[in-house]
């Protein structure tokens, strides 16, 4: 077994989460999997994995090494594609990351149809409430909401109307002091979603300045789930901030009400991101060409629906 093949086994074992799962995925014997991992550890001279048949955990050296292995394997795949030229057709595993709700409700149906058309492609969909490192984590395409900061990636703009809205239940607002200015939040209970700020929220700058206005708080309730934050706010536990499409259904039903709409920061763009060079890979190019126009329609629709619903709601308690 050569070192490149051993790297593939190592990366697969890490991604699958256990040696038993790697055995099933690669259709190899447990002995062959263990031999590949031992080969790598012998070569680098350190333990890469703390392992049992049921689970495994990367050592500190293993965390660094798996990222390097992913980069090597991606480079090799790209070299094969360049050598194959235009004769290459979409095939292999396509790894995509997306925010959970957008991934479930918008991207997943598009991926279903993509797979129906491309029988030689498999998809690994990672729905995560965080930005991934595309290269280090072996991600081919990321569906990302937010302003771009990394110019090394290739971006395909999908849309630009995702609002960050502050919401609370009508019963909560009726029982507490009015909210007409961001500073009023200091007198209220905050249900903070970890990815939207656990101790502060930013709003449009005050007149005459370009510096965003920031309100600091100590949350009454801190959660790491969009659905939990929205549900707790709808139950009257306090005020939360989420994307407009996260709460559109609850706003439509009257369970949540938007406040401070006049102070919202600018709407955020949505992009598909790929690492440099990956758009030449047929499976990546095929997916972007297939998905981008459909995502533009779907995201434009949900943004318009949310904006239309939430503009007609009162903005004060």
Torsion (CA) 101, 228, 253, 145 in degrees, nearest 10: -30
pLDDT at 312: 41
pLDDT band at 273 (very low <50, low <70, confident <90, very high): very high
Residues 154 and 300 in one domain: yes
Mean pLDDT lowest for which of 118-122, 137-141, 189-193, 270-274?
Answer: 137-141
Residues 156 and 276 in one domain: yes
Task: Kindly state whether residue 310 falls inside one of the protein's structural domains.
Answer: no
Residues 171 and 245 in one domain: yes
Residues 283 and 236 in one domain: no
Cα distance between residue 158 and residue 148, in whole Å: 13
Task: Kindly state whether residue 221 falls inside one of the protein's structural domains.
Answer: yes
Residues 63 and 124 in one domain: no
Task: Kindly state whether residue 312 falls inside one of the protein's structural domains.
Answer: no
Among 52, 85, 118, the domain boundary falls at: 85
Residues 231 and 151 in one domain: no
Residues 132 and 279 in one domain: yes
Mean pLDDT, the chain, integer: 87
Residues 110 and 124 in one domain: yes
Residues 127 and 184 in one domain: no
Cα distance between residue 1 and residue 21, in whole Å: 20
pLDDT at 168: 97
| pLDDT tens per residue, range 10-69 | 888 888 888 888 888 888 888 888 888 888 888 888 889 887 656 788 888 888 888 888
CATH number of the domain to which 49 belongs: 1.10.10.10
Residues 38 and 110 in one domain: no
| pLDDT tens per residue, range 153-173 | 889 999 878 999 999 999 999
Cα distance between residue 9 and residue 3, in whole Å: 10
**66 vs 242, more confident:** 242
Task: Kindly state whether residue 311 falls inside one of the protein's structural domains.
Answer: no
DSSP assignment of the chain equals: --HHHHHHHHHHHHHHSSHHHHHHHHT--HHHHHHHHHHHHHHHTS--EEE-SS-EEE-HHHHHHHHHHHHHHHHHHHHHHHHHGGG--S-EEEEEEE-HHHIIIIIHHHHHHHHHH-TTEEEEEEE-SS---TTTTT-SEEEEES----TTSEEEEEEEEE-EEEEE-HHHHHHS----SGGGGGGS-BEEEGGG-SSEEEEPPPTT--SPEEEE---SEEES-HHHHHHHHHTTS-BEEEEHHHHHHHHHTTS-EEE-GGGPPPPEEEEEEE-TTGGGSHHHHHHHHHHHHHHHHHHHHHHHHHHHHHHSS----
Task: Kindly state whether residue 14 falls inside one of the protein's structural domains.
Answer: yes
Residues 57 and 100 in one domain: no
Order of all β-strands in the sheet with 240-243: 240-243, 164-168, 257-259
Task: Kindly state whether residue 313 falls inside one of the protein's structural domains.
Answer: no
Quote the number of domains for the chain. 3
pLDDT at 53: 58
Among 56, 85, 114, the domain boundary falls at: 85
pLDDT of 2 over the 90 cut = no
Cα distance between residue 38 and residue 36, in whole Å: 5
pLDDT band at 74 (very low <50, low <70, confident <90, very high): confident
Among 37, 60, 85, the domain boundary falls at: 85
pLDDT band at 317 (very low <50, low <70, confident <90, very high): very low
Task: Kindly state whether residue 316 falls inside one of the protein's structural domains.
Answer: no
CA 161 to chain centre: 17
Cα distance between residue 73 and residue 77, in whole Å: 6
Domain containing residue 297: 89-160+268-304
Residues 69 and 101 in one domain: no
What's the mean pLDDT in 235-247?
95
pLDDT at 4: 87
What's the mean pLDDT in 171-182?
94
pLDDT at 314: 39
Q: Express as a percent the part of the chain with pLDDT over 70.
A: 92
Task: Kindly state whether residue 300 falls inside one of the protein's structural domains.
Answer: yes
What's the mean pLDDT in 254-282?
90
Cα distance between residue 199 and residue 182, in whole Å: 14
Q: Which of 1-10, 67-76, 120-129 has the highest mean pLDDT?
A: 120-129
């Amino acid at each position: 077994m050569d070192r490149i093949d051993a790297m593939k086994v190592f990366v697969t074992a890490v991604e699958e989460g256990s040696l038993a799962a790697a055995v099933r995925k690669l259709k190899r014997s447990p002995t062959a999997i263990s031999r590949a991992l031992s080969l790598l550890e012998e070569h680098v001279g350190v333990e890469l994995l703390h392992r049992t048949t049921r689970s495994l955990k990367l050592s500190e050296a293993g965390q660094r090494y798996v990222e390097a292995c992913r980069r090597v394997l991606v480079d090799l795949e790209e070299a094969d594609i360049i050598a194959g030229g235009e004769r290459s057709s979409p095939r292999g595993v396509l790894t995509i990351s997306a925010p959970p709700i957008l991934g479930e409700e918008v991207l997943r149906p598009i991926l279903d149809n993509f797979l129906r058309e491309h029988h030689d492609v498999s998809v690994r969909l990672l729905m995560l409430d965080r930005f991934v490192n595309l290269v280090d984590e072996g991600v081919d395409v990321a569906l990302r909401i937010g302003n771009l900061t990394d110019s090394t990636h290739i971006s395909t703009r999908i849309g630009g109307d995702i609002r960050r809205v502050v919401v609370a239940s009508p019963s909560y607002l009726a029982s507490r002091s009015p909210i007409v200015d961001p500073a009023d939040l200091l007198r209220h209970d905050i249900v903070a979603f970890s990815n939207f700020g656990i101790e502060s929220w930013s709003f449009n700058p005050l007149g005459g300045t370009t510096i965003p206005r920031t309100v600091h708080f100590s949350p009454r309730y801190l959660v790491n789930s969009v659905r939990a934050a929205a549900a707790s706010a709808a139950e009257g536990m306090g005020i939360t901030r989420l994307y407009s499409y996260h709460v559109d259904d609850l706003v439509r039903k009257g369970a949540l009400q938007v406040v401070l709409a006049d102070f919202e920061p600018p709407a955020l763009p949505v992009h598909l991101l790929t690492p440099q060079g990956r758009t030449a890979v047929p499976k990546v190019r095929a997916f972007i060409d297939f998905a981008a126009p459909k995502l533009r329609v779907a995201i434009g629709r949900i943004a318009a629906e949310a904006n239309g619903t939430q503009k007609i709601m009162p903005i004060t308690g």
